[in-house]
A = this chain, B = another copy of it.
Amino acid sequence: MLSQSGKYAVRAVLYLAVHSDETNKIGFKKLSEDLGAPAAFVAKLLQELSRKGHVNSSKGKNGGFYLTESQKHKNLLEIIIEIEGKDKLNNCVLDASHCNHKHPCALHHIAYPKQKEFLNGLKEKTLLDFASEIKKGTSFL
């Protein structure tokens, strides 16, 4: 479902949702170490998300990555789409040609609803929602 990049990206962004704000910037080294993820690789992902406006960054001393309040109010799906690409996420499980509700592939009825529900779940919660669960300790990264 999610590529390795997608997984790192989600965890990195949620990490920032939990630990960062305008006055608490976080370097990619600390972040990636805490996540147990390859630092340079995660740095690239954060750069990309920064270019696309999902994450903020500032260079120079005391710089780092962080999320603004408005960024924390976005949903996770947007970030995942940025990394994975919209197509790939909505694709037919079998890559059958022209698979859709009217012309369903053999697994469509089994797979598509679940896939959709998962994506909707990601769309319905903000980064803050996830962050507060993590802070409460009811889920983790």
Chain A residues within 8 Å of B, Cβ to Cβ: 1-2, 4, 7, 10-11, 14, 36, 76, 93-97, 103-111, 114-115, 117-118, 121-122, 125, 130, 133-134, 138-141
Please name the residue on chain B nearest to A112 by beta carbon: B118
Taking the full assembly, how many copies of this chain does it contain?
A: 2
Residues of B contacting A110 in the complex (Cβ-Cβ under 8 angstroms): 118, 121-122, 125
Cross-chain pairs A/B with CB under 8 angstroms, 15 sampled: A1-B93, A2-B93, A2-B94, A10-B106, A11-B94, A11-B106, A76-B107, A103-B140, A104-B140, A106-B133, A106-B139, A107-B122, A110-B121, A110-B125, A114-B115
Residue from B10, B95, B109, B115 in contact with A94 in the complex, judged by beta carbons closer than 8 Å: B10
